[in-house]
Structure 1
Amino acid sequence: MKQDHRVVRRTAAALAAGALAAGALAGCSSKNQVPSIGYGVDAVIASYNGGSTLGANSGAAAVFSRVLTGFFYTGPDGQPVADTDSGTAKEVPGDAQTIQYRLSPEGVYSDGVQTSCDDLVLVWAAHSGRFTKAGPGGPVPLFDAASTDGYRDIERVDCQPGSKDATVVFRPGKHYSAWKTLFNAAELMPAHVIAAQVKIPNVVTPVQTGDQPTLERIADFWNNGWKLAPGKVDLTLLPSSGPYRIDSFGDKDGLVLVKNEKWWGDQPRTPRIVVWDGHSDLKSKVSDKSVGVLDVGAGSLGDVNLGGFRRQNLPGRGVEQLVLGTGGVFGSADARRAFALCVPRQALFDKFGHPDYNVKLGLGAGPLNSRTVQQDSVYYQAISGAGDKYKGGDATASQAAASSGMQNQTVRVGYLEPDEQHTAMVAAIGDACRAAGITVIDAGAPDFTASQLTDGKVDAILGGTAGMPGPSGSLNATDAIASLRTGAGLNFGRFGNGRYDAIADQLAAEDNSGTVLNLLTEQENLLWSEMPSIPLFAAPRTIGFGDGMENGVAGPTKEGAGWNMDRWVLKR
């Protein structure tokens, strides 16, 4: 059933009343609305472009989903929800899978330029994987896209430059069931900005004609032109298609989002949102009441006082995990399996995996035995047995370490600091693996990025889905699937397995439950054998809304609590 975002938000807010719908309406009438709300979230503001590897991994979806809108966004339960203010998308019958997209006739960026199908062509070009250049080992992608899943199966995007209509046609024989995860919030970038920077009339023509020199210039801006750093923001490059736009970004004042005067949909209820990210001192921001909404990893802020918040710990859609490199100390699957045997998965779950809640069945119930299948999936119980022997800390670990050459080896585990929970987890892993002769080094750092695993500066990442800091995950697990695919931007460990890729492709189009179960079972056995990562548990999130908040609805997914920030009202 299709629902637009306004209906879903109102429904979700009503259902969550008494739980995390922040602030009862009763008794608020005598209070005054606060004109600016601080949003503390442990994502990292590094790129405006949520489709790039940097943007996706740093958490652009948690910050910019109501700045750069798309045809769908990730709802609070992790599901794709239609955003009919932006436009409509409809699958139409035919021999090839075909989706008709129509942008809102009223749609206009904050700089006055109309939204157009050029934006869809740009997204497809960047994510299709078909545009390459020569590299030292053969062709390499022009665009540093987080994932090509779904997009690489698209044959073409029919678009007249400047039009509001686009027809997306998939390759013959290809079908992508999760098509509602394409052209989404924080991924649909303003193509006209690139056209102006590259000095071309539009991006559609060079994409359609395969103009290599122009495509290389387009890709260079797409990769680098939307990177963000405090105090270095050119607002002309950052027009908004949503209810908020960027006003400023600085170390002292945070990322300031203000009402987009050109927004054509329901107007944001609060005119100003200040985002404090994982590079901010979130603990002090909470203490000095700069934050009215908080969304962080449970335990990451230690003993922070959350008095004045209605807060809840709950299991997220993200996978708390160790992402392993496939070179260096982990150059063999034997070495990766030996390390997995000493990682105390059960003990880590017992101590860190379910703070203040105890789920018996479903999301958050016990250690997570899959990297790509959610614990509340109908398939989970049937396919999760392959991970049972890796509860960790058993006597077999020492023997495995010796036979694999892991004894007397050092494993550097990186993560974004400060994070008191991750610090304690690395220490616990180190204590457990010491008996197997493996030394675990805490390589957490305030400037840590997942690319350090690719560069060989660390051996493992402790983080969420695809090694993300902050909010991660969705019901479709598209980022989780992509993070294991050969050559994907989010595959920081550079794992590559042709059979995994083939299974993922089959699952993307399969709707027969028996076939799905067989494929998932094979996939789990393969991944537990190859061990590109070690899933620990459904990442617990602490989400809190300040007293007097209305319409705050927890979203423990990659879009975080900010998924409906344009509905927030804080009264004091």
Structure 2
Amino acid sequence: MGWGRRARRTSRRVWAVLAAGTLAAGLLAACSGKDQVPSIGYAVDALPATYNGGSTLGVSGGAAALFPRVLTGFFYTGPDGQPIADTDYGTAKQVPGDSQTIQYRLNPDGVYSDGVPTSCDDMVLEWAARSGRFTRPGGAPMFDAASTAGYADIERVDCQPGAKSATVTFRPERHFLAWQTLFTASDLMPAHVAAQAAGVPDVVKAVQSGDQAVLEKLAQFWNTGWDLKQGTADPKVFPSSGPYRIESVGDTDGIVLVKNERWWGNSARTARIVLLPKNIDLRKKLADKAVAVVDIGAGSVKDLSLSGFSAQQVPSRGAEQLVLATSGVFGSADARRGFALCLPRQSLYDRFGHPGFDVKSGLGSGTLNSRIVQPDSLYYPIVTNAAEKYRNGDAAAAGQSRALGANPTVRIGYLAPDDRRAQTVATIADACKAAGITVVDAGAPDFTPTELGDKVDAVLGGTAGAPGPSGSSTGVGATVSLHSGQGLNFGHYSNGRYDSLTDQLAADDFSADVLSADTEAENLLWTDMPSVPLFATPRTVAFGAGLLNGIVSPTKAGAGWNMDRWVLQR
């Protein structure tokens, strides 16, 4: 089982800009007489709960936007949402053979900040956690993985314990187009830490033997052992494989990253980065001049002043959407369709979907009419016909839906405070009132998408319900969030035909097949209505005066994708 997208983008523009920025930084430092500031504040509307970016909690908490230069991998997400090879960590290449096979070679100099060398043991642990093959009695997965996309298609990872190379072989009947989304930054966790905590002498042998008791111990730590708590981050538990390492975690001071002196690549340009997540008082931090980079949902902070910043409003690869429960008031597809009928999607886009920008085509150019095909895809105009019925809202038709029951109440949850999302819920409430549907704003400062179906009936968020940065050009997260049995499938939607279609799309890039599968899948989703796409989530990205090498990245990686290149001069 696996998912992928056909988007392929070049990274030449990115590196040209970075090269120019690096040169400019050198010239400015030499000529301007300005001093470099030793610490940079980075405000981003993620709410981290764990270091483990491959877990459900890690993805929903925005680990990909916080730790891409702390935990590195063979690839990372670039500013256009594309996978970019990180040759500092190692190399990966597809080799000929009857089965899809990838040869990985880790950098011989690679070492964690605690002095333990990086090795293929980390890959074996990642595969074990993300493959879905290790379950408890009754069938529940041992590891709380966000998704098994691609990893479930792997037959084996050939690795000698402690070695600097590995061969990954996929099952003969499977092929995963988006293989560059595997073993990536913020996902690859230090296997030696899990092994020590679980009392397991050899992770590789434990996985190869399939010992249930031993794997359960590893899974317990993988699921919760890297949870972030206030105080100094134990370097033995939170070692880094990147240019920065975590020094401390605090409620008011954010997460402090400092240079990793054991990093074997180019040294970070700034000694200290302070990650300021969603629960930090952004206005106060701005007033204190403690912020130089801002990456938040457009309009999410009311009356926010970014005086002195170079700010851009941009559409992102994240899909602003309502993810619906498949239980309670939304226990039937008829009920979900009835609710979708009262949603004024066009009005929502007009009011909230393109603040400060007006694009004619592609991302951000109109209501979002697909969940799995991106608006700048050639297939998008062809596969979105089924969405037209749900463009403007039809309260009368929604009111006639008996499946919703008498005087239904729909609770919409999101991570608060968020002014744009609060206004979105209020607009929906006004529109649906005429249909006899009561919409309740259930936004909360501690909200998580896992509350769907229990405390709330719908989640308002980005791709896979993420509160902050989301989306990529590969679209794996969008597709997997509706696939049966996945951690990111918070609504617990299940349709075997959708699963088959997306499994096919993961392996087949022949245009006629892709168009046919995309069209059928999207028609099916508009019938089953597990979610309602609204528009491409608009983002506000701002760089303070004197900040060099800042590059907008409206993706799950956020503006921090290249934070180790940032320089602030004043």
Please state how far the C-alpha of 1:252 moved relative to its aligned partner.
2.8
In structure 1, stretches of 5+ residues that fail to align are: none
Looking at structure 2, the residues matched to 16 and 159 of structure 1 have their Cα atoms a distance apart, in angstroms, of 39
Q: Look up the SS of the partner of 2:504 in the other structure.
A: helix
Please state if 1:554 is matched with 2:552. Answer: yes
Q: 1:64 aligns with which of 51, 57, 67?
A: 67
Looking at structure 2, the residues matched to 50 and 26 of structure 1 have their Cα atoms a distance apart, in angstroms, of 36
| 1:174-323 aligned within 5 A | 174-231=174-231, 233-323=233-323
Looking at structure 2, the residues matched to 169 and 473 of structure 1 have their Cα atoms a distance apart, in angstroms, of 27
Match of 2:562 in 1: 564
| Structure 1 pair 48–262 and aligned structure 2 pair: CA distance change class (3 A) | same
Q: 1:521 aligns with which of 519, 522, 534?
A: 519
Q: Look up the SS of the partner of 1:388 in the other structure.
A: helix
Please state if 1:120 is matched with 2:120. Answer: no
**Cα shift readout 1:420-474 (whole Å, capped 9, x = no counterpart):** 11111100000000000000000000110111114x1100000000000110000
Looking at structure 2, the residues matched to 9 and 272 of structure 1 have their Cα atoms a distance apart, in angstroms, of 24
Please state how far the C-alpha of 1:12 moved relative to its aligned partner.
3.3
Please state how far the C-alpha of 1:284 moved relative to its aligned partner.
2.1
Q: Mean alpha-carbon deviation: is it higher for 524-533 or for 274-283?
A: 274-283
RMSD (CA atoms): 2.0
The residue type equivalent to 1:241 in the other structure is S
The residue type equivalent to 2:456 in the other structure is V
**Cα shift readout 1:521-572 (whole Å, capped 9, x = no counterpart):** 0000000000000000000000000011110000000000000000000101
Looking at structure 1, the residues matched to 561 and 452 of structure 2 have their Cα atoms a distance apart, in angstroms, of 30
Looking at structure 2, the residues matched to 185 and 193 of structure 1 have their Cα atoms a distance apart, in angstroms, of 17
Q: Look up the SS of the partner of 1:133 in the other structure.
A: coil
The residue type equivalent to 2:418 in the other structure is D
Q: Look up the SS of the partner of 2:139 in the other structure.
A: strand
In structure 2, stretches of 5+ residues that fail to align are: 1-6
Looking at structure 1, the residues matched to 106 and 505 of structure 2 have their Cα atoms a distance apart, in angstroms, of 30
Please state how far the C-alpha of 1:399 moved relative to its aligned partner.
4.1
Looking at structure 1, the residues matched to 338 and 16 of structure 2 have their Cα atoms a distance apart, in angstroms, of 48
Match of 2:3 in 1: none
The residue type equivalent to 1:108 in the other structure is V
The residue type equivalent to 1:379 in the other structure is Y
Please state how far the C-alpha of 1:231 moved relative to its aligned partner.
2.8
The residue type equivalent to 1:40 in the other structure is A
Match of 2:17 in 1: 12
Looking at structure 2, the residues matched to 286 and 340 of structure 1 have their Cα atoms a distance apart, in angstroms, of 39
The residue type equivalent to 2:79 in the other structure is P
Q: Look up the SS of the partner of 1:228 in the other structure.
A: coil
Match of 2:438 in 1: 439
Please state if 1:415 is matched with 2:414. Answer: yes
Match of 2:492 in 1: 494
Q: 1:75 aligns with which of 75, 78, 92?
A: 78
The residue type equivalent to 1:435 in the other structure is A
The residue type equivalent to 1:459 in the other structure is D
Aligned residues between the structures? 563
Match of 1:344 in 2: 344
Contact 1:24 1:548 in 2 (8 A): no
**Cα shift readout 1:165-188 (whole Å, capped 9, x = no counterpart):** 000000011000000000010000
**Cα shift readout 1:78-125 (whole Å, capped 9, x = no counterpart):** 000000000000000000000000110000000000000000000000
Match of 1:152 in 2: 152
Please state how far the C-alpha of 1:256 moved relative to its aligned partner.
0.3
**Cα shift readout 1:20-70 (whole Å, capped 9, x = no counterpart):** x99995997221110000000001111100000000111000000000001
Contact 2:395 2:432 in 1 (8 A): no
Q: 1:460 aligns with which of 437, 458, 461?
A: 458
TM-score w.r.t. the length of structure 1 is: 0.95
**Cα shift readout 1:301-356 (whole Å, capped 9, x = no counterpart):** 11111001001000000000000000000000001001111111100000000001
The residue type equivalent to 2:75 in the other structure is F
Q: Look up the SS of the partner of 1:174 in the other structure.
A: coil
Q: Identity over the aligned pairs, expressed in percent?
A: 63
Please state how far the C-alpha of 1:499 moved relative to its aligned partner.
0.6
Match of 1:381 in 2: 381
**Cα shift readout 1:130-151 (whole Å, capped 9, x = no counterpart):** 00011xxx31100000000100
Contact 2:338 2:404 in 1 (8 A): no
Contact 2:395 2:431 in 1 (8 A): no
| Structure 1 pair 22–476 and aligned structure 2 pair: CA distance change class (3 A) | farther
Match of 2:4 in 1: none
Looking at structure 2, the residues matched to 102 and 119 of structure 1 have their Cα atoms a distance apart, in angstroms, of 13
| Structure 1 pair 36–427 and aligned structure 2 pair: CA distance change class (3 A) | same
Contact 2:9 2:82 in 1 (8 A): no
The residue type equivalent to 2:62 in the other structure is G
Show structure 1 runs of 4+ deviating over 4 A.
Answer: 1-5, 14-17, 21-28
Please state if 1:37 is matched with 2:76. Answer: no
TM-score w.r.t. the length of structure 2 is: 0.96
Match of 2:427 in 1: 428
**Cα shift readout 1:165-213 (whole Å, capped 9, x = no counterpart):** 0000000110000000000100000000011111222211010001110
Q: 1:105 aligns with which of 90, 104, 108?
A: 108
Looking at structure 1, the residues matched to 501 and 396 of structure 2 have their Cα atoms a distance apart, in angstroms, of 31
Looking at structure 2, the residues matched to 302 and 23 of structure 1 have their Cα atoms a distance apart, in angstroms, of 37
Please state how far the C-alpha of 1:488 moved relative to its aligned partner.
0.3
The residue type equivalent to 1:560 in the other structure is G
The residue type equivalent to 2:518 in the other structure is L
Please state how far the C-alpha of 1:404 moved relative to its aligned partner.
2.2
| Structure 1 pair 389–220 and aligned structure 2 pair: CA distance change class (3 A) | same
Looking at structure 2, the residues matched to 100 and 170 of structure 1 have their Cα atoms a distance apart, in angstroms, of 12
Contact 1:78 1:476 in 2 (8 A): yes
Match of 1:129 in 2: 132
Q: Look up the SS of the partner of 1:235 in the other structure.
A: coil
Looking at structure 1, the residues matched to 251 and 518 of structure 2 have their Cα atoms a distance apart, in angstroms, of 45
